[in-house]
Amino acid sequence: MSQEVRNLEPKELWNKFADLNAVPRPSKKEERVIAFMMEFGQKLGFETINDEVGNVIIKKPATAGMENRKTIVMQSHLDMVHQKNNDTDFDFDTQGIEMYVDGDWVRAKGTTLGADNGLGVATIMAILESTTIPHPAIEALFTIDEETGMTGAMGLKGGLLQGEILLNLDTEEDDEIDIGCAGGVDVTAVAEYDEEETPADSVGYTITVKGLNGGHSGMDIDKGLGNANKIMNRLLFNGFEDFGLQISTINGGSLRNAIPRESVAQVAIAPIYDEAFTFDMQEIVNEIKTEFKTTEPNLEIVIEKSATTPTKVMPPMAQFYMVRSIYAAHNGVYRMSADFDNLVETSNNIAKVTVGNGKLQVENLTRSSVETSKFDLANALRSAFELMGCEVTFGGSYPGWTPNANSEILDVLTSIYEKQNGSKPHVVACHAGLECGILGTNYPEMDMISFGPTIKGAHSPDERANIASAQKYWKFVLEILENIPVRN
């Protein structure tokens, strides 16, 4: 399947993307892709560095006639979000991504594609390998673990880079130039409870929420998409209120930065309610599906008897507080920006809910372009979960990237874009967590910009990269490299 991708134009870009996607590279497990990039840089004969946290830096001298231009840092992250459909048999730890061409798009077979941020990595690889593309001195920075902790960017020490301009290639709309982004913090609520024996003669049921779109918990948070954990909690709340439903286990969502698409709960019902439960719950199911009929047309909610009845359940009071806390916890857009049109300022994604074996855990990712607002929402979540007795911790906090409207490289990019396309680009700040803000803490004088080709459905198996956009983007990159300002 990847061969048809290799035949696309520009071949330099797609060939490197196919090479990269043959290497397993889920977040937190980047050992193989780090080795791949180290070998790539060393084979080219360039200075190749693997820093103490795992980032790879490859330094390429300027081409003839470009020696007096400012040194640039071209930056992308090596890891990818690993999401797959339930009916897809795939091991992200051992398999390369199976790509195919679908009309105007490149997709993966039942999994995330890794275009986020693999197309950026492939771009840099193609430029490093080229002997014909004119460019200034380049420091190629390949960071690790962007998707689950930003640990590569946070661990990059000052002094390793001398570049004056940073080109981040992690934006996902080809008519946008990003000059700012949101920061984030992980909010985790944990509690333990004493499991109880399931009452005798109880009937076991499995409740499944599936078929949701999912997506990027920053870029897609304003689209009104369904959150499987919120929908499941609503079903459990009603089942508990009306029929004394008892929860045995819940498994909902997977990654903090992905809007959860699926959730499964094992529950028990007293036999007296057996027939009424499925009949009356269908009314709730219909209500939910009606509410989401536009944004989630493929939503499925299945309530069916289990082959066996669970032997252990949550105590009623623990369950009482849990479903209410999750109901009260904010999910989605919290505040829109007062400074930028149509920009989400602050949001939360209730990303993962797990219950069973006497322990419950709720994992959130709270984002904001305003640091104080980020912690305001984080404290609201903390309050909701502490009221049920959870221990709540904040972790992995990273700063946003403050826009610089007077950026010199911004002027270069906007001028080139307008010349090439006959229209002005959208200069924006985004609600995703780009690494620029973090990198700027140790390199505060670096002029930073972010752009990239059009990618849809990132962080979900519907991820796809637009072929025509990649061609437009490649042309844009090449002219940017030729027009990097002269060193002062």
Give the residue numbers marked as catalytic: 79, 146
The residues, any chain, with a CB within 8 Å of residue 262's CB and separated by 6 or more, are: 86, 208, 209, 210, 212, 228, 252, 253
Q: What is the dihedral of CA 408, 409, 411, 416, to 10 degrees?
A: 150
82 and 27 in contact (C-beta within 8 Å)?
yes
Residue type (1 letter), 439 = L
Q: Give the integer Cα–Cα distance in Å for 49 and 91.
A: 29
Q: Is the peptide bond before 117 cis (omega within 30 degrees of 0)?
A: yes
DSSP secondary structure string for all residues of 62-117 = PPTT-TTBPPEEEEEE--B---B-TT----TTT----EEEETTEEEESSB---HHH
Between β-strands 105-108 and 464-466, what pairing exists: parallel, antiparallel or unpaired?
Answer: antiparallel
Element (H, E) at 419: helix 408-421
Helix or strand run (H / E) with residue 12: helix 11-21
Q: How far apart are CA 56 and CA 466, in angstroms?
A: 28
Q: Are strands 72-77 and 165-168 parallel, antiparallel or unpaired?
A: parallel
Q: Are 172 and 454 a contacting pair, CB within 8 Å?
A: yes
Q: Helix, strand, or coil here: 276?
A: helix
